[in-house]
C-alpha cells in the first residue's frame, strides 16, 4: 500500500484533535477563569532511502534521502496567559492580577485544587465557598495547615459579622453588629474572631497577630504542567512543581482585586483562524487519501 495513505490518515487524526481542542476553547469563551489549550504537532519517524556521505577530495558530500511517515500530536498545552477582567462590583468576586492561584478543597484536610475562578460566596453557615460548594482555604501564621474561612460571628463576643470585604493581600476585613471593624482571625481554625488591637480586650482572649487570616494562594513553577480536573480547577502534578500554600504577599503571586472576575483567555479571532487552518489541513489530508486511492485504482486496472 502507498505510504501516503497512512500519512494522510495520521494528518486527519491530528487535525480532528485540533478541532476538538478549538471547539472546547470556543465553548468556554465566557467561562470564568478558563485557560485555553493549543495543539502542537510533530512528524513521525522518517524512512531512510539513502544515508548521507561526507565530501572527499574527489567528490562532494551527498545529503540523506528520507521519506516522512506522517504526523502525530507532540503536546496539548494549557496557556496560562491572563484573561480579561470583568467588573462586577460584587465584594466576594475576586481576581488575581499575577501568577498565583486560589486554593479550594471539597473538605478540610482533603485534596487541594487550584483555580483562577474567584466567584466566591458565603453559604448558610457563613463559610466562604466557590460555585461548587468547595471551601475557599485561608492561611494563618499560627496554623501550619490551611483552614476554612467562616464569616458568621465572633466566637469570643458572640457578635454577628454584618459585612466583610477582602483587600489586595487577601485579608478579610469584617464589621460586627456593634460597628467594630477589624480583620478576621482564628485561634485554632474553628473559632473565628475580629482582630483589632484598639478594640480587643487582652483580658478576654489571648489575641495573636499571627491568627489573622488571609486567602491561601499558591504559585507553581510550571503552570503548564497542571492537570485540568473540570469545573475550572487544576490539580498539581509531578511536572507542575509543588503547590505550597501561603499568603500572596509572601509568594510574590501578585495582588487580589475585589469586585472583579478574571474571564476566559480565549481569543475568538485566533480560534476561528486556527479553525480555518485545521479545516483546510483536514481537507488537504483527505485529498491525499483520495489521490492515493486513485493511483491504487490505476495499478489494479493494469491487468485489464
- 137-155 per-position pLDDT tens digit: 999 988 888 999 999 998 8
Mean pLDDT of the residues in the chain: 91
230 in the same domain as 141: yes
Task: Count CA atoms closer than 13 A to 289's CA, side-chain side.
Answer: 15
Contact indicator for 219, 252 with CB cutoff of 8 Å: yes
pLDDT tier for residue 218 given thresholds of 50, 70 and 90: very high
Number of structural domains in the chain:
2
Among 98, 85, 93, residue whose Cα is nearest residue 258: 93
pLDDT at position 136 is 96
* CA–CA dist 3, 9 (Å, integer): 10
255 in the same domain as 132: yes
66 in the same domain as 106: no
Q: In the block, which residue shows the cell 448558610?
A: 124
* CA–CA dist 26, 36 (Å, integer): 9
Q: Is 70 exceeded by the pLDDT of residue 205?
A: no
176 in the same domain as 76: no
Burial of 127 (0-12, 13-18, 19+ CB in 10 A): middle
Cα angle vertex 195, ends 191, 201, to 5°?
95
271 in the same domain as 198: no
194 in the same domain as 230: yes
pLDDT tier for residue 187 given thresholds of 50, 70 and 90: confident
Q: Give pLDDT tens digits for 52-61.
A: 989 988 889 9
57 occurs within a structural domain: no
Q: Which domain holds residue 119?
A: 85-262
For 266-287, b where at least 16 C-beta lie within 10 A, e where not — what string?
beeeebeebbeebeebbeebee
75 occurs within a structural domain: yes
Least confident stretch, 105-114, 128-137, 171-180, 197-206:
197-206
290 in the same domain as 234: no
71 in the same domain as 112: no
pLDDT at position 200 is 67
Instruction: Write the CB contacts of 126 (distance below 8 Å, at least 6 apart in sequence).
Output: 150, 151, 152, 153, 161
Q: Specify the pairing of strand 101-105 against strand 217-218.
A: antiparallel
Q: In the block, which residue shows the cell 487544576?
A: 234
Least confident stretch, 47-51, 72-76, 168-172:
47-51
255 in the same domain as 108: yes
Q: Is 70 exceeded by the pLDDT of residue 4?
A: yes
91 in the same domain as 43: no
269 in the same domain as 225: no
Which residues on adjacent β-strands are paired with residue 186? 192
For the chain, give the percent of residues with pLDDT over 70. Answer: 97
pLDDT tier for residue 157 given thresholds of 50, 70 and 90: confident
Q: Which three cell numbers stand for residue 146?
A: 490551611
291 in the same domain as 164: no
Which residues on adjacent β-strands are paired with residue 66? 48
Q: Is 70 exceeded by the pLDDT of residue 114?
A: yes
102 occurs within a structural domain: yes
192 occurs within a structural domain: yes
* CB-based contacts of 108-114 (< 8 A; 24+ apart in sequence): 108/135, 108/147, 108/148, 108/189, 109/145, 111/235, 112/137, 112/146, 112/236, 112/243, 112/245, 113/229, 113/233, 113/234, 113/235, 114/218, 114/220, 114/226, 114/233, 114/234, 114/235, 114/236, 114/243
Burial of 259 (0-12, 13-18, 19+ CB in 10 A): middle
Q: Is 90 exceeded by the pLDDT of residue 156?
A: no
Amino acid at each position: 500500500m502507498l505510504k501516503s495513505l497512512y500519512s494522510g490518515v495520521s494528518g486527519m487524526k491530528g487535525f480532528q484533535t485540533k478541532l476538538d481542542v478549538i471547539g472546547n476553547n470556543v465553548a468556554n469563551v465566557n467561562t470564568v477563569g478558563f485557560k485555553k489549550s493549543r495543539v502542537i504537532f510533530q512528524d513521525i519517524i522518517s524512512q531512510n532511502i539513502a544515508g548521507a556521505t561526507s565530501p572527499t577530495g574527489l567528490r562532494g558530500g551527498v545529503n540523506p534521502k528520507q521519506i516522512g511517515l506522517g504526523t502525530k500530536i507532540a503536546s496539548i498545552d494549557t496557556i496560562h496567559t491572563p484573561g480579561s477582567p470583568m467588573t462586577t462590583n460584587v465584594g466576594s468576586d475576586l481576581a488575581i492580577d499575577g501568577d498565583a492561584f486560589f486554593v479550594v478543597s471539597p473538605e478540610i484536610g482533603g485534596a487541594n485544587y487550584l483555580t483562577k475562578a474567584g466567584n466566591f460566596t458565603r453559604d448558610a453557615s457563613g463559610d466562604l465557598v466557590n460555585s461548587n460548594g468547595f471551601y475557599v482555604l485561608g492561611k494563618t501564621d499560627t496554623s501550619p495547615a490551611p483552614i476554612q474561612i467562616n464569616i458568621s460571628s465572633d466566637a469570643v463576643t458572640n457578635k454577628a459579622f454584618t459585612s466583610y470585604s477582602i483587600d489586595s493581600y487577601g485579608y478579610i476585613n469584617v464589621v460586627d453588629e456593634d460597628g467594630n471593624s477589624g480583620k478576621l482571625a482564628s485561634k485554632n481554625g474553628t473559632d473565628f474572631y475580629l482582630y483589632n488591637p484598639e478594640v480587643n480586650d487582652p483580658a478576654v482572649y489571648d489575641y495573636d497577630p499571627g491568627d489573622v487570616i488571609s486567602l491561601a494562594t499558591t504559585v507553581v513553577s510550571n503552570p503548564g504542567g497542571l492537570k485540568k480536573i473540570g469545573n475550572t480547577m487544576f490539580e498539581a502534578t509531578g511536572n507542575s512543581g509543588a503547590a505550597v500554600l501561603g499568603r500572596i504577599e509572601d509568594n510574590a503571586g501578585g495582588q487580589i482585586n475585589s469586585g472583579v472576575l478574571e474571564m476566559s483567555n480565549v481569543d475568538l479571532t485566533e480560534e476561528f483562524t486556527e479553525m480555518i487552518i485545521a479545516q483546510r489541513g483536514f481537507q488537504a489530508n483527505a485529498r491525499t487519501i483520495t489521490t492515493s486511492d486513485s493511483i491504487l485504482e490505476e495499478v489494479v486496472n493494469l491487468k485489464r
